[in-house]
Amino acid sequence: MNWLFRLFRSSIGCKGIMALTGIALFGFVIAHLSGNLLIFGGPDAMNAYAVSLRELGPLLWVMRLGLLATVLVHIGAAMRLTRQNTDARPVPYVRRQNVASTAASRSMMMTGLTVAAYTVFHLAHLTWGFILHDFATAVDDQGRHDVYYMVVKGFQQWWMVFLYVVAMVILAVHLRHGISSFFQTLGFNHPRWNPILEKSGIGVATLIFLGYVSIPATVFFGLVGLDGGGS
Ligand code: HEM
């Protein structure tokens, strides 16, 4: 256990922890997007998917707790790194670089914490059913929780679409910088590769943004409706 604290205390260890937890969260973002895109398969596809997740039983709880722990460690390591950057007393010739990295880590902290706040709102909306509660209790004709109905009714509200789109922009900005930092931590830092990695980061973040936003957008504009087709 001691080695874990030592790892956390060193800047390189913190960066490694950020990279590992970051890639795990990135994996979740991709897996969750793949599941959510089942909305385009209609109510049966989406509700059956939700049931298959519930049927994982205790394993689902292990995954949820693992996800929560990963988020907390990611935020903890980010806070330590930001503090280390701020506390650093750079000798003059490295000052410029240090100021730049502090600004970057501050903006990552802002976008990251906003994504975390959005996630709590999102859980209150679609997992706990506290927001738009009446849409969260429906069951379909097979007696399953009607996740499809809950999502479609939610995205027929303009303010919900607005909040989700803003959150997805912030998520994309966070991912774009996160992807660059990830490769830098792995040691990919070469004038020839940097522009390619930079562009790949932008490309991947844009695809994830478009994937997620396609859901509220198609519902809001009536291309996806309650019967699975347009409304
Ligand atoms: C258009 C965008 C999104 C849609 C339509 C969506 C849809 C859903 C739905 C339907 C659930 C509840 C599943 C159920 O209870 O059966 C859920 C849970 C969840 N979503 Fe999303 N989601 C979106 C974006 C995101 C994003 C961007 C994140 C993370 C940054 C996220 C994180 C989560 C988490 C952590 C859960 C809880 C999973 C669990 O209960 O085990 N979602 N989402």
Q: What is the pLDDT of residues 9-28, one digit of tens each?
A: 788 889 999 999 999 999 99
Residues 6+ apart with CB under 8 A from 40: 218, 224
Distance 32 CA to ligand 1 centre (A): 7
Could you please report the per-residue DSSP string of 105-136? Answer: HHHHHHHHHHHHHHHHHHIIIIIS--TTHHHH
CA-nearest residue for atom 31, ligand 1, is 119
Assign a CATH topology to domain 2-220. 3 helical TM bundles of succinate and fumarate reductases (1.20.1300)
pLDDT tens readout for residues 94-140: 555 556 666 777 899 999 999 999 999 999 999 999 999 999 999 99
Residue 188: predicted pLDDT: 83
Six token digits for residue 198: 């930079």
**The CA-based dihedral angle spanning residues 113, 117, 119, 121, taken in that order and rounded to the nearest 10 degrees:** -170
Region of residue 10 (phi > 0: left; psi between -120 and 50: alpha; otherwise: beta)? beta
Six token digits for residue 225: 């409706």
Q: Give residue limits of the domains in the chain.
A: 2-220
Six token digits for residue 7: 């790892």
Distance 148 CA to ligand 1 centre (A): 12
pLDDT tens readout for residues 55-101: 999 999 999 999 999 999 999 999 988 887 777 655 554 555 556 66
Around ligand 1, the residues with Cβ closer than 6 Å are: 29, 32, 36, 50, 53, 64, 115, 119, 122-123, 126-127, 147, 151, 164, 171, 212, 215-216
What's the chain's average pLDDT?
A: 90
Size of the chain in residues: 231
